[in-house]
Amino acid sequence: MKDKNPLLSVVNGKMCINDRVFEITELRESKEYLQILGAEEAFFHPVDDDELDELHDIILRMRKESPYVADDEMTSVFLN
């Protein structure tokens, strides 16, 4: 299953990649899913700035919940 450009969205306060919803505790799983897809770049088309802010907050919460992230100073997550 190859998808070089999967779509990110926000569904019920959670990150969604191509209709697959990831819980806040599933940062590693979302990264693995992108790798399985062979993603080169994920696209996110927010309907407004609020949705953009919501995805950013979700990613920060995922980072905070992940035992695989050690850098407390990190302000964003690079998922590839």
Domain that holds residue 57: 7-65
pLDDT tens, position by position, 9-65: 999 999 999 999 999 999 889 999 999 999 999 999 999 999 999 999 998 898 888
Burial (CB count within 10 angstroms: exposed 0-12, middle 13-18, buried 19+), residue 27: buried
Strand order in the sheet with 20-22: 20-22, 14-17, 7-11, 43-44
Query: Is 30 within the bounds of a domain?
Result: yes
Query: Is 73 within the bounds of a domain?
Result: no
Name, in order, each residue with C-beta under 8 angstroms of 77's C-beta and a sequence gap of 6 or more: 27, 59, 60, 62, 63, 69
Query: Is 34 within the bounds of a domain?
Result: yes
Rg, Å, the chain Cα set: 12
Query: Is 79 within the bounds of a domain?
Result: no
Query: Is 76 within the bounds of a domain?
Result: no
Task: Give the confidence band of 2 by pLDDT, cuts at 50, 70, 90.
Answer: confident
Query: Is 24 within the bounds of a domain?
Result: yes
Name, in order, each residue with C-beta under 8 angstroms of 34's C-beta and a sequence gap of 6 or more: 6, 17, 42, 79, 80
Query: Is 72 within the bounds of a domain?
Result: no
State the total domains in the chain.
Answer: 1
Residue type, position 18, single letter:
N
Task: Give the confidence band of 67 by pLDDT, cuts at 50, 70, 90.
Answer: confident
Query: Is 50 within the bounds of a domain?
Result: yes
